[in-house]
Amino acid sequence: MARVKKSTSIAIVAVLALAVIAGGLVKMSSGGSSKGGTITYLTHSEAWTHADPNRNYTGQHLAWFSSYLQRTLTSYAHAPGSDGSAVVADLATDTGRASNENKTWEFTLRDGVKYEDGSAITCEDVKYGVSRTFATDVITDGPTYAISMLDIPSADDGSSVYKGPYAAADNDTAAYDKAVSCSADNKTITFNLSRSVGDFNYTVTYLAFSPVPKAKDDGDAYDMHPVSSGPYKIEKYKSKDEMVLVRNDNWDPKSDSVRSAFPDRIVVRFGLAEEVRDQLILNDSDKNSMSLDSVLPTNLPTVFDDAGNPRAEFADRALNVYDPYVTYEAVNVKSLPCLDVRKAVYYARDYAGLIQLSGGAAFGGDPADGAIKPLMGLDYAKVTGLDEFIAAGNADAAQKYMTAAKSSCPDVYARATDPKRGLTFDTADTDTNKKAAAIWIDSMKKNANITMKFNYIEAGSYYSVVMDPTKQGDFSRAGWAPDWANASTVIPELFTETGGFDLSQNGADPAYQAFKEKSDAALSEPDRVKQGKMWAELNQYAMDQMWIIPRVFSKTQEIWGSGLGGVFFWEPQGAPSFGDIFIK
């Protein structure tokens, strides 16, 4: 998990956030592109994690479903590079109108927008879709922004007083109707938020804010047959088999300034053996196909040279790019209240050995210096004070901090150097993690005389264990990607107690209160440039305190057949630009 949703972006967001971009400008120029044909996507997965729009949360799935099947009020622009992070109007006529200090947001639906059955998409449908995300017992796995942002009171146990459209008892529907309302013509939707959210129009790019016709909703089972509002509709969807999309005749290209809809038919083949999936693309067996998964490490050298660039024959059908993820070891500050030992661990670590496990720097990525990736642009600043970092591990620095720890925190020092006790490290029980553990144990012993003990947790229940403060060890392996191009979806999530992924337990840190106040201030800072600076400073502080041991700014590799054109990396979703792919 680690809210494994993707998105990234660059500087000009502040400008774009306010700009209303006319639809026609955003569509990719379709030079050399052509309509028609069948694009086939290949994947080892047995099915989509979720096809129900309100339950979609990973960047690749959001990119795919928003390109073909689901429209939202606003969308990211379909454009390569930083242009892709611009928010543009989709179902709505503009990118939203904020008032009341960004606490009230209004969106008006375009005329002529329809579902696949020809019925009109109304404000009530959007409102119903959003209401479903409150039913977290049925509509699982989706983002819960509506719950945390909408102005709806909490019950005594902290949960929302509104429980979604399915619950009958103890359900404050009136509170929801007050927070989300529709105009008399059923075209304009108004969201009342509990706090200022300057980039709420980014939030609504999530399919969690897409329309769902109430009459077609059947709860969990809706995941297998969501109703389309996009250019295609589902002809067949069977887990372990395939999904087939055909054109949706009720989609009016004139009402959609975002989507190109080049192919006539789109097929997703599920459950391919990983080697078969890769070989089909590598041998160009079906020129019009694309892999949805990362390339097997053993096949990477076939496609890329040692530097990580595509080889000549794969020049225009492979990508090796940074994905939105930062991986790190979360430090349990409560159990490890000793900055010197935390630093010793950071410097003693054999980073070079660990990155080799992910295919080396060419495919694995670069050493991370914090929780914010350079792709975040405005919010990133190089973290200082880490000059002693040496990829293979710096024994001198590590020992220096351990010597300091002897007097600054003798208890933690004694535990760390005691072979019987040592420090504990949580990791999911996988082969790769076990190899990494060996490198960790070895380099800690050698460079800092620290004993590291590993706690292997069954992969499926890993996060539910480490997120339980009573079960968490000193270090927990983790990773995170921002929900959209703003560190507001990183710093508060990872480092404040109200965040969804606060593994550091840094409330125990004496400086936490000041940190929290500054984070809250950054959240409601309307000046995006100022806000970016604040995030960078908070990131620097988190690193000064070693609340996390940052690992990698990771990369991802994509391959596709020679028949496909228009592929680029859609940065905000951290995935290929599915909606712009055509058959040459």
Positions touching another protein (CB under 8 A) are 1, 46-47, 135-138, 140-141, 157, 159, 165-168, 214, 217-224, 238-242, 269-273, 275-276, 279-280, 283, 285-286, 460, 463-464, 467-468
Burial of 391 (0-12, 13-18, 19+ CB in 10 A): middle
**Which CB atom, from 167 or from 381, has the smaller least distance to another protein?**
167
In the bound complex, what is the minimum distance in angstroms from residue 285's beta carbon to another protein? 5
In the bound complex, what is the minimum distance in angstroms from residue 421's beta carbon to another protein? 27
Query: In the structure encoding, which two tokens stand for residue 84, read together?
Result: 């892709």
Q: Are the beta carbons of 375 and 84 closer than 8 angstroms?
A: no
In the bound complex, what is the minimum distance in angstroms from residue 527's beta carbon to another protein? 34
In the bound complex, what is the minimum distance in angstroms from residue 530's beta carbon to another protein? 33
In the bound complex, what is the minimum distance in angstroms from residue 482's beta carbon to another protein? 17
Neighbours of 467 (CB within 10 A): 17
Give the whole-angstrom CA distance, residue 484 versus residue 471: 31
What would the DSSP string read from start to end of 366-384?
EE--SSS-GGGGGG--PPP
**Which CB atom, from 146 or from 536, has the smaller least distance to another protein?**
146
**Which CB atom, from 214 or from 533, has the smaller least distance to another protein?**
214
Q: Which residues pair with 88 in a beta bridge?
A: 75
What would the DSSP string read from start to end of 228-254?
P-SSEEEEEE-TTSEEEEEE-TT--GG
The answer for 427, left when phi > 0, alpha when psi is -120 to 50, beta otherwise, is beta
In the bound complex, what is the minimum distance in angstroms from residue 341's beta carbon to another protein? 29
Q: Are the beta carbons of 38 and 263 closer than 8 angstroms?
A: yes
**Which CB atom, from 239 or from 399, has the smaller least distance to another protein?**
239
**Which CB atom, from 3 or from 343, has the smaller least distance to another protein?**
3
**Which CB atom, from 165 or from 364, has the smaller least distance to another protein?**
165
In the bound complex, what is the minimum distance in angstroms from residue 430's beta carbon to another protein? 13
Residue 68's nearest CA partner among 213, 202, 267 is 267
**Which CB atom, from 401 or from 463, has the smaller least distance to another protein?**
463
Cα torsion angle, 290, 239, 213, 199, sign: negative
Give the whole-angstrom CA distance, residue 441 versus residue 345: 11
**Which CB atom, from 184 or from 221, has the smaller least distance to another protein?**
221
In the bound complex, what is the minimum distance in angstroms from residue 324's beta carbon to another protein? 18
Q: Are the beta carbons of 219 and 226 closer than 8 angstroms?
A: no
